[in-house]
Amino acid sequence: MLDQTMKVFRHRARVVAYAIPALRRLVENSKKQLNPEENFTFWNDELSSGGFSSYIEDTMTVGGAYSATALLIKHHAVACPTILDVACGSGHLVGKLTAFKHYTGTDVSSVAIERARRVVMDAFPDRHIDLSFEAADLRSFQPASALDVLIFNEVLYFLNVDQAGSEVIRYAESLTKSGIIIISMKDDGKSRAIFRSLQDSFKWIDGVLWQQKPKNFDFSVRVNRESPGFLVGALRKRK
């Protein structure tokens, strides 16, 4: 009980800290941000050694976000869209999409990209689908033009809040007029701050709020570090 109380306290403290710009920047400046080369090395080492295994496995957490993403694309994107999936992990989203014209998946880790290629080959052994995967840091990747769907699942909170907002705006320049952005983030003060930072440039279309419930009947989204709540939202550029 005491442990859960401390988790709730820390969660609320982060929500407050990230809601106040001066405090938020103080917190962010105290943490070193890896440059693209360091980021590449870190994630390859972690994934090669078994760390962050949930990042490339089709777990309930990952699968839930992917299912919600596919649902939002189905209902709010054009038919057979051109998709860019930033931080695609092991590519399991591809198997949940109903249709697409072209899919590009990028990830900072070449380990994840190789896994994604194998996952897609296993999922579609007898079917030709138009897709590509590329190892690239999201801060240096240059998206192609005329994208119908842009996806950021569980990646933006690895950047500072201001940088996350700037990168979404930069990528959104490649969207078509009817294009949408799908963003998924866990319940955290930093995630909330990033969503707030996007409100002036993007309008909310629709979303899914969900949380894995392995133990009991519960209609509340509760603070849970092991099984956090997730908000998966569809946004569109403001005119």
Tell me how far apart the alpha carbons of residues 18 and 39 are, in angstroms, rounded to a whole number: 24
Helix axes 21-29, 2-19, angle to 10 degrees: 110
CA distances to 8, 44, 154, 190 from 107, in Å: 32, 11, 12, 21
Domain ranges of the chain: 2-237
**Are 179 and 215 in contact, with CB atoms under 8 Å apart?**
no
Helices of type H across the chain: 2-19, 21-29, 36-48, 53-56, 60-76, 110-123, 161-172, 189-197
**Are 87 and 138 in contact, with CB atoms under 8 Å apart?**
yes
**Are 144 and 174 in contact, with CB atoms under 8 Å apart?**
yes
Q: pTM of the entire structure?
A: 0.93
pLDDT means per 10 residues, the chain with 239 residues, are 78 91 90 89 91 78 90 97 96 92 95 92 78 95 93 95 97 97 96 97 97 86 87 95
Tell me how far apart the alpha carbons of residues 120 and 92 are, in angstroms, rounded to a whole number: 8
Side by side, the strands of the sheet bearing 82-86 are 131-135, 102-107, 82-86, 147-153, 175-186, 230-237, 202-210
Q: What is the pLDDT of residue 220?
A: 87
CATH architecture of 2-237: 3-Layer(aba) Sandwich (3.40)
Q: What is the pLDDT of residue 141?
A: 96
Q: How many CB atoms lie within 10 A of CB 227?
A: 15
Q: What is the pLDDT of residue 126?
A: 66
According to DSSP, the β-strands at 147-153 and 202-210 are: unpaired
**Are 211 and 225 in contact, with CB atoms under 8 Å apart?**
no
